[in-house]
Amino acid sequence: MEAIEELAVQPCTSSLYLRPFRLSYRQNGTKKFWDFMRTHDSVSILIFNTSRQCFVVVKQFRPAVYMCEIERHQPQVFENQDKESFPSLENPLPAVVGVTYELCAGIVDKPGLSLEEIACEEVLEECGYRVSIADLRRITSYRSGVGVTGSRQTLFYAEVNDHMRTSGGGGQPEEGELIEVVEIPLGESMKFAYDETFPKTMGVIFSFMWFHNNIAPKLPKK
């Protein structure tokens, strides 16, 4: 996962996932404009393994996170952002600075499938557990990237056990996915959530808090 080589930054003139636009408008009599991106909505799933009393999350390299760290340490890389050429990354940072812990998730890009069906597919592909729609509990939906994309993410909860695991997960290599499945013990989950040495998404923190408020009190006492 961390064997990152031959890094090169270049302008993005077209994308399957992002479309840049500029909205001009008048608000309370003041003329304004705002640059934004259109992208897919998404689903995410908080997975709890009841056999081992742990959360199942994923760990992967995120180029956007990596490049934020590059810009923080090497701002000159983006100084020619309006030109056609960028300086090469002669002294790249270790790839680990771009690795994050996340909930199992996926974009909504299959019109024929419901959000629940997409969520079930993602759980199987990324984490190796076969769940049905009946195994899902919808927690809520929210807007992410409100200043840039405004896309909607729908969060589900799924309880699994060791018997439901049919593979090691890891995503779909043919689509370029390289995902590591990670288990977070229930007793260590809130410490993990607030430990900044483990880069993570807000979805992890929020869903762990939701679990401790709504599910944990109902668990059998040991």
Among 28, 68, 42, 6, smallest CA distance to 126 is for 42
Q: Which residues partner with 20 through β-bridges?
A: 37
Q: Strand, helix or coil at 79? A: coil
Q: In whole angstroms, what is the distance from residue 29 CA to residue 184 CA?
A: 52
Given the candidates 3.40.47.40, 3.40.50.1820, 3.30.565.10, 3.90.79.10, the CATH classification of the domain at 20-62+98-217 is 3.90.79.10
Q: In whole angstroms, what is the distance from residue 100 CA to residue 200 CA?
A: 5
Within 10 A of 162 (CB to CB), how many other CB atoms are there?
10
Q: In whole angstroms, what is the distance from residue 124 CA to residue 165 CA?
A: 8
pLDDT means over runs of 10, the chain (222 residues): 79 89 96 96 98 97 93 79 63 91 96 97 97 98 94 98 94 80 98 97 97 95 70
Within 10 A of 214 (CB to CB), how many other CB atoms are there?
12
DSSP 86-122: ----SSPPPGGGGEEEE-EEEE---TTS-HHHHHHHH
CB of 116 within 8 A of CB of 133? yes
**Distance (Å) of CA 220 to CA 6, 38, 53, 97, 215:** 51, 45, 11, 39, 11
Q: In whole angstroms, what is the distance from residue 201 CA to residue 65 CA?
A: 11
pLDDT at 83: 58
pTM of the entire predicted model: 0.92
pLDDT at 81: 57
Q: In whole angstroms, what is the distance from residue 218 CA to residue 130 CA?
A: 24
Q: Which residues partner with 55 through β-bridges?
A: 48, 184
pLDDT at 141: 98
pLDDT at 1: 63
Q: In whole angstroms, what is the distance from residue 64 CA to residue 67 CA?
A: 5
